[in-house]
Structure 1
């Protein structure tokens, strides 16, 4: 016989509701009576000093991962000369980016099993190992393979830093601390090409990688001894690991790589109608469709199926793709425009990106302040996307007579938009889901953005180089001269008459307009998707 339920009066219920939840427990002492869980690091039991040490360690790791995005760019000619293998040198960047992107959702999933701190340390160790292998490479093939290893570690660092910050502070304050990460990326974008050029010119290109061996251990030591995050009970680890969606991971990696190869090859290495290009593209999309089917049927999917039913997460994830395409596509090809039209050197054209970096450094902290003060994030994504549409649209006017002053102003506006959107997109996706899925949705958003980075560069090259090659054939140039112009943009300044030089510069600028229109379309898609999302409330 069951005991009768205990009846309580309304007054008794009211008195019970007024009792503090922690009766008998010591009340935490903090100035201003602010809730303890709002203090930085208090969510995981870190003091103020420990918290800032952890933030230092995270951002040291982030700085080195960000540097390796572009530190190699200015060193490629030197490396190619040493190994006598220029034809495959593009894979020094592509190999790193592909592995970097593909491991992002995997690290997020493993972080949910073994702990984000543990996986961050593993990513750092792999990054250090890859850097050592890169520095000691004896051939181009070994260097490319080592860059893939380095990307596997760098992707873990990048993806998990963004997740770990959400473990340390309330979501409404995440933007403030991620703005530090944004500034780290600005620093890396400026310093990377300059350091790569300086190392290859005055020391050896191998120091592009050896520098990581000197600094990255700082991040690893802090991660091991100071980064203490909750981990699942050991008794659950084996079961969680065994039920991982290994088939889904394999299909996702295969599908993404196939599409990336198809886009990279099309119009450059092989014709778009070539069976290898068509096969990669068709096979890639079939594998991604199969991935979606697998995720609906496995017990522990890589990407929780509930995210596919979340309207805001879907909109923001798609927006991240176009954001990444616009960001990196412009970052790669604006310096080329400066070399062609203004006659800048490779190093000086990299300095020409400083206005864009300045805009990023302004837009990101402002967006973080707005989120922290008013607990809104979507407006940052929408305003940032609108600024990108404005700047990218005006860039479609660029030609051989564009002034440097106009370029500087537009790049500042563009950077402010990119900085605001960077903060707004990720935070909107994080707050739109449940706390247990924040790590998964963060990894998904960053993964899609990184894939967008790669596609932005590849698609820009496709629409630009194909048009350029066709337009150059209309000039009075031999096939050998056309190849020389395509391989070395600086050669036109000293190898051709002033009249022909002006025609070539104009052809470059006109052909590049196709790329500007593509970037404008990406910005427009970003704005549309940001407008389709919904602002969710930040949890207290």
Structure 2
């Protein structure tokens, strides 16, 4: 989903130059012999060294991308081992929150201390988090470790594309960033499959241990081979001027809201003071954030973006797009396991039609943009297909034919692929040239925040309904608590008739989540219609 930036990176860097931001040593780009046009020559890398660095960067990107959805098929197994299915959404949410909220921070720190050094730091944190996840002895430890892992993954993703723009001439940036797009497609396909295979045949812990086998290779390559130009400005002054208050408001507000949503009706009753306090406090902090950004010297989010209606409309659409896409990737495999009785591996195979659809949708959308020089129409058609498929998913139950799920997931993926290609390009086309870089980072950041809230809201409506529906089956409180803790034990604990009723309860409870995803898709469609179509200049 992140390869959307490919076509416009050249314009992003051009805007940085126009604003006076140093991009690279100009003496290199002025090389009379023309060697500056060779890959890596801008930072004095040989061609062989350049390809090694590109390999290291994309290895890091691959593993960060894998951890978006590799646990989706392993969640029932993990939660059953720890007897904490109620908290299982935080295995994803903890990672997504950390990933989203460190994106702007790593970008700022990269400009101060060097993108290469911050990338290496992000990789080291990712390795640490992966080791902690693999060795987790409780659900709480796993969630905390996923937060650490998310911080590292955010640093990797936030800097790979920027580093590539430091390595090659502007006119060639898109060509080399195509590799990162291929990496994300590979990760989207392989993640759920690997998660299923590891959890079924080896151990779910290998979802994280695999990073310990490959990430050190990425780190070694970039530590020894990657050398970018040094920032000659006053690092201490720049570091002191970072928007710490804005960061605290944004992080604190997001975490408080997510905690309130997660606790409400599950850990504590909705009227409980802790739930209300988190929700009110979180909304207050988020509300104060834009006011603070107008008064700080180096804001985390440029206030200009907060006054641009077109950008705000597309950013809001990106929020609902992220909520829909990641939540469905996370919970569809659980539906296949809990309702259809699939193995972890088979539930990963069940996501392949969606991945195929995303590939087809994004490819067709790119062709339309190239031929017609329009992009918002892709987002509008894609949002319509996403809303259609999400709406039909509310019909899913234990008797739903497999063919229906395959067709719906292909339609869903095609819609999401088209939206993925259309929204960001529309935001860039509607932005003044000097603000394209800022807009790109802002829109992607909002989508990442949407990822978090989608998974958290889905978990809230699903688990709350599951608890109340299980109570209607005349089960004892201890049986209900046992089901909420260990969802894989129901096949062995209950007779066939009761087991069938419990499976139907899972399907009905997840229907609330499908309705929520339909609402997100509908909001995405309406917001895409409110945007203004801009034609790209030839």
TM class by shorter-chain length? 0.7 to 0.9
Deviation digits for residues 463-487 of structure 1 (CA, Å, limit 9, x no counterpart): 2222232233233433333334444
Within the alignment, does 1:60 sit opposite 2:91 as a pair?
Answer: no
| Pairing partner for 1:274 from 230, 249, 272 | 272
Q: State how far apart, in whole Å, the 1-side matches of 2:507 and 2:139 are.
A: 33
What RMSD over aligned residues (CA atoms) do the two structures have, in Å? 3.7
Shift in Å, 1:536: 4.7
Aligned match of 1:237 = 235
Q: Is the 8 A contact 1:123 1:154 kept in 2?
A: yes
Matched with 1:513 is 511
How far off is 1:40 after superposition? 8.1
User: Unaligned stretches of 5+ in structure 1?
Assistant: 1-24, 31-35
Q: Tell me if 1:339 matches 2:337.
A: yes
Q: Does residue 457 of structure 1 match 2:455?
A: yes
Q: Is the 8 A contact 1:104 1:444 kept in 2?
A: no
Whether 2:157 is the aligned partner of 1:158: answer: yes
**Among 293, 309, 312, the residue aligned to 1:311:** 309
- Greater shift, 336-345 or 50-59, is seen at 50-59
TM score, norm. by length of structure 1: 0.81
Q: Which residue of 1 aligns with 2:99?
A: 100
Q: 2:81 & 2:342 partners in 1: Cα distance?
A: 25
Q: Distance in 1 between matches of 2:135 and 2:147?
A: 15
Residue 537 of structure 1: how far off its partner (Å) = 5.9
Tell me if structure 2 keeps the 8 A contact 1:54–1:226: yes
> What is the aligned partner in structure 1 of residue 263 from structure 2?
265
Q: Alpha-carbon deviation of 1:99?
A: 1.5
Instruction: Kindly provide the CA deviation profile for residues 350-384 of structure 1, in whole angstroms up to 9, marking residues without a partner as x.
Output: 22111111112222233334445554433332222
- Contact 2:134–2:208 (CA under 8 A) maintained in structure 1: yes
For the 8 Å contact 2:429–2:535, the answer to whether it is kept is: yes
TM-score normalised over the length of structure 2: 0.81
Partner of 2:387: 389
Task: Determine whether 1:482 maps to 2:480.
Answer: yes
Deviation at 1:529, TM superposition (A): 1.8
CA distance in 2, matches of 1:427, 1:86: 39
Tell me which residue corresponds to 1:447.
445
Q: State the structure with bigger RCO (CA 8 A, min sep 6), 1 or 2.
A: 2
> What is the SS of the residue equivalent to 2:148?
helix
Contact 1:172 1:371 in 2 (8 A): no
Greater Cα shift, 291-300 or 506-515: 506-515
Alpha-carbon contact 2:339-2:507 (below 8 Å) kept: yes
Which of 386, 411, 425 does residue 413 from structure 1 map onto?
Answer: 411
Kindly report which structure 2 residues correspond to 1:114-153, keeping only aligned pairs within 5 A, or say none.
114-135=113-134, 143-153=142-152
What is the distance in 2 between the residues matched to 1:202 and 1:107? Answer: 37
How many angstroms does 1:306 deviate by? 0.7
Between 416-425 and 86-95, the greater mean CA deviation after superposition = 86-95
8 Å CA contact 1:183–1:361 kept in 2: the answer is no
| Distance verdict in 2 for CA 1:510–1:169, change over 3 Å | farther
Contact 2:317 2:524 in 1 (8 A): yes
Aligned-residue offset at 1:309 = 1.7
Q: How many pairs align?
A: 509
**Per-residue Cα deviation, 1:514-539 (whole angstroms, up to 9, x for no partner):** 22111111011112222222345658
Structure 1 residues 122-131 or 41-50, which shifts more?
Answer: 41-50
Are residues 528 and 229 of structure 1, via their aligned partners in 2, closer, same or farther at CA, if it must alter by over 3 Å? farther
**Secondary structure of 2:299's partner?**
coil
1:63-95 deviation line (CA, Å, top 9, x unaligned): 111222343455567767887887766544433
Aligned residues of 1:159 and 1:442 also touching (Cα < 8 A): no
Rounded Cα–Cα distance in structure 2 between residues aligned with 1:182 and 1:83: 36
Q: Which residue of 1 aligns with 2:358?
A: 360
Per the TM alignment, residue 285 of structure 1 is displaced from its structure 2 partner at its CA by: 0.9
Q: 1:349 aligns with which of 347, 350, 356?
A: 347
Q: Does the CA-based 8 Å contact 1:176-1:365 persist in structure 2?
A: no
1:469 corresponds to 2:471: no
Q: Is contact 2:374–2:533 with CA below 8 Å preserved after alignment?
A: yes
Rounded to whole Å, the distance in 2 between the matches of 1:217 and 1:379 is 43
> What per-residue deviation string (whole Å, max 9, x for no partner) do you get for residues 395-417 of structure 1?
12223432110110010111111
**CA 409–172 in structure 1, closer or farther in 2 if over 3 Å, else same:** farther
Once residues 365 and 426 of structure 2 are traced to their aligned partners in structure 1, the CA distance between those partners, rounded to angstroms, is 12
Within 2, Cα distance between the matches of 1:377 and 1:29? 35
Match of 1:187 in 2: 186
1:29-48 alignment, distance < 5 Å: none
State whether residues 134 and 143 of structure 1, in contact with CA within 8 Å, keep that contact through their aligned partners in structure 2.
yes
Return the alpha-carbon distance in structure 2 between the equivalents of residues 186 and 111 of structure 1: 26
Name which of 280, 287, 290 aligns with 1:289.
Answer: 287
Q: Distance in 2 between matches of 1:482 and 1:82?
A: 17
Closer, same or farther: CA 349–239 of 1 in aligned 2, 3 Å: same
The match for 1:19 is none
Say if 1:492 and 1:77 are closer, same or farther in 2 by CA, change over 3 A. Answer: closer
Deviates more, 1:331-340 or 1:522-531: 331-340
- Alignment partner of 1:377 is 2:375: yes
- Relative to structure 1, the CA distance from residue 203 to residue 476 in structure 2 (aligned partners, 3 Å threshold; closer, same or farther) is closer
More deviation, 380-389/187-196 = 187-196
Whole-angstrom CA distance in 2 between matches of 1:61 and 1:238: 29
Mark the CA change 1:66 to 1:387 in structure 2 (over 3 Å): closer, same or farther: same
Mapped partners of 1:431, 1:125: distance in 2: 36
Moved more, 326-335 or 438-447: 438-447
Instruction: Report how far residue 152 of structure 1 moved.
Output: 1.0
